[in-house]
């Protein structure tokens, strides 16, 4: 009878038993008489120990495989203080499934260009696997939280006939014969339609921006969560963003301690993410910047401005009531002061910057019509959108949350390119 297959994550539950681990050879150390085979399987890393005297033939075979060869190691599970992770396998059988020679990635010292060019292999390393496991937890926590809050998932189209917001640059694609289509930069307008059908909805998919950004906070393809709620206000959107972020961070703290450790993330910074989050108006934020960054009142906040505003804060900061000039055409104006748009940005602490942007949407048909004209947007493309105000318009609000920025923040990543499996950047579309 062959040994049962066990995930490395669950090994400590099988002490004394003989089990098999299916994985890849992460590293091999040892001497003429002793091999330490470090095997990874996606759930963890364990070392298998082979002693020459025990079984000469097995010892010989086990010493042949190169780094990242796929292997099945069988052995008895031992708790041993000397083993990394405290558990190891005493090798009783070894099989190489697929050989690997001259694996390109070493165990240390690589530059970002080299690593990104080998992203398909880099994915196997400790940092990427830890990051991707946390990304998975974050996605799951988001969907769970929204499900519990009564949201329905309604996906938006990727091909769109126009610029959703009419601001940023779009990727253009041929759409049969002589029609052009664009890759979506946001599903929000479609979510507004869906919210008027289902009440509380969200979409969670890729978004595309053709801006030639070259910063550590931008990708040309990224994933965005966009909840939208009918009969809701700016306040409701803020409450949701706050509870969602707290739930997500809490879930990662529950499920990914080891991964956070691998990433050397300061966990105390995440444990501080407990509601309520501070809320200030644009005017107050601007006052903080006075004589600090050269910021001009009325402008949007730049990266240095955000850093200065959030300096010393240990929670995300919600900034509301923006000059309507810096926000999108569909933003509702503050009924008490027409200068302000009822928008909210959420700025993550520790300098990670904006992770959420949203607010309350304009409901008045005539107002939106004038906004389209003022922003020079083609009315025929937005006819359907105006219909939403023509037939049973209600107050509604929502926001967009950048998944990779959230992952980068929670994981403590210096660059957003590590927060997505295969980053698409200005000059990088391979692999």
**Residues 154-173 interacting with RNA (rule: CB under 7 A):** 165, 167-168
Tokens read off for 187: 């599903």
* Selected binder of RNA within 10, 17, 60, 84 (CB under 7 A): 84
Q: Is 198 in the site for RNA (CB under 7 A)?
A: no
Q: What's the chain's length in residues?
A: 431
Segment lying near RNA (by CB under 7 A), choices 150-158, 172-180, 333-341, 394-402: 394-402
Number of residues forming the site for RNA (CB under 7 A): 74
CB-nearer residue toward RNA: 99 or 274: 99
Q: Is 290 in the site for RNA (CB under 7 A)?
A: no
Q: Is 187 in the site for RNA (CB under 7 A)?
A: no
Q: Is 32 in the site for RNA (CB under 7 A)?
A: yes
Shortest spacing between CB 345 and RNA, in angstroms:
7
In the region spanning residues 240 to 259, those forming contacts with RNA, defined by CB under 7 A, are none
Find the largest Cα–Cα distance for the chain.
87
Q: Is 31 in the site for RNA (CB under 7 A)?
A: yes
Q: Is 355 in the site for RNA (CB under 7 A)?
A: yes
* Separation of alpha carbons 374 and 9, rounded Å: 58
* Separation of alpha carbons 181 and 416, rounded Å: 28
* Selected binder of RNA within 6, 21, 46, 88 (CB under 7 A): 88
Residue ranges in 100-164 assigned as alpha helix (H): 112-117, 119-122, 126-148
Q: Is 80 in the site for RNA (CB under 7 A)?
A: yes
* Selected binder of RNA within 2, 57, 106, 268 (CB under 7 A): 106
* Selected binder of RNA within 142, 181, 356, 372 (CB under 7 A): 356
Q: Is 76 in the site for RNA (CB under 7 A)?
A: no
Shortest spacing between CB 409 and RNA, in angstroms:
10
In the region spanning residues 220 to 239, those forming contacts with RNA, defined by CB under 7 A, are 222, 224
CB-nearer residue toward RNA: 295 or 382: 295
* Separation of alpha carbons 65 and 55, rounded Å: 17
Q: Is 369 in the site for RNA (CB under 7 A)?
A: no
Q: Is 371 in the site for RNA (CB under 7 A)?
A: no
- Contact between 95 and 33 (Cβ < 8 Å): no
CB-nearer residue toward RNA: 194 or 245: 245
* Separation of alpha carbons 136 and 276, rounded Å: 26
In angstroms, the Cα distances linking 424 to 155, 160, 213, 431 are 22, 20, 11, 9
Q: Is 297 in the site for RNA (CB under 7 A)?
A: no
Residue with tokens 């939208």: 228
Q: Is 186 in the site for RNA (CB under 7 A)?
A: yes
Q: Is 113 in the site for RNA (CB under 7 A)?
A: yes
- Contact between 402 and 222 (Cβ < 8 Å): yes
Shortest spacing between CB 324 and RNA, in angstroms:
13
Which residues partner with 348 through β-bridges? Answer: 353
Three-class SS of 349-397: CCCCEEEEEEEEECCCHHHHHHHHHHCCCCHHHHHHHHHHHHCCCCCEE
Which residues have C-beta within 8 Å of that of residue 117, sequence separation ≥ 6? Answer: 430, 431
* Separation of alpha carbons 103 and 100, rounded Å: 7
């Amino acid at each position: 009878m062959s040994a049962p297959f066990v995930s490395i994550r669950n090994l400590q539950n099988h002490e004394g038993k003989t089990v098999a681990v299916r994985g890849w050879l992460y590293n091999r150390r040892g001497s003429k008489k002793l091999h330490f085979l470090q095997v990874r399987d996606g759930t963890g890393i364990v070392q298998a120990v082979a002693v020459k005297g025990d079984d000469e033939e097995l010892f010989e075979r086990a010493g042949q495989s190169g780094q990242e060869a796929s292997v099945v190691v069988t052995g008895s599970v031992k708790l041993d203080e000397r083993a990394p992770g405290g558990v190891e396998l005493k090798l009783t059988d070894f099989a190489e499934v697929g050989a690997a020679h001259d694996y390109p990635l070493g165990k240390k010292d690589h530059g970002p260009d080299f690593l990104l060019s080998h992203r398909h292999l880099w994915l196997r390393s400790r940092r990427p696997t830890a990051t991707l496991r946390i990304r998975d937890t974050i996605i799951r926590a988001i969907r769970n939280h929204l499900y519990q809050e009564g949201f329905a998932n309604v996906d938006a189209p990727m091909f769109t006939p126009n610029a959703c917001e009419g601001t940023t640059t779009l990727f253009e694609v041929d759409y049969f014969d002589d029609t052009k289509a664009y890759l979506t930069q946001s599903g929000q307008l479609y979510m507004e339609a869906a919210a008027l059908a289902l009440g509380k909805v969200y979409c969670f998919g890729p978004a595309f921006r053709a801006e030639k950004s070259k910063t550590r906070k931008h990708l040309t393809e990224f994933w965005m969560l966009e909840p939208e709620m009918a009969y809701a206000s700016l306040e409701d959107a803020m409450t949701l963003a706050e509870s969602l972020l707290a739930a997500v961070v809490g879930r990662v703290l529950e499920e990914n301690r080891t991964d956070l450790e691998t990433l050397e993330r300061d966990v105390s910074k995440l444990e501080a993410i407990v509601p309520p989050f501070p809320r200030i108006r644009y005017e107050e934020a601007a006052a903080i910047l006075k004589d600090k960054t050269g910021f001009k009142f009325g402008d949007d906040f730049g990266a240095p401005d955000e850093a200065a505003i959030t300096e010393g804060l240990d929670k995300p900061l919600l900034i509301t009531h923006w000059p309507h000039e810096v926000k999108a055409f569909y933003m509702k104006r503050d009924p008490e002061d027409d200068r302000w748009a009822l928008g909210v940005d959420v700025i993550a602490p520790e300098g990670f910057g904006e992770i959420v942007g949203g607010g309350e949407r304009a409901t008045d048909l005539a107002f939106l019509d004038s906004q389209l004209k003022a922003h020079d947007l083609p009315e025929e493309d937005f006819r359907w959108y105006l219909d939403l105000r023509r037939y049973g318009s209600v107050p509604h609000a929502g926001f967009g949350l950048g998944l990779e920025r959230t992952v980068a923040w929670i994981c403590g990543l210096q660059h957003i390119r590590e927060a997505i499996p295969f980053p698409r950047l200005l000059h990088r579309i391979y692999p």
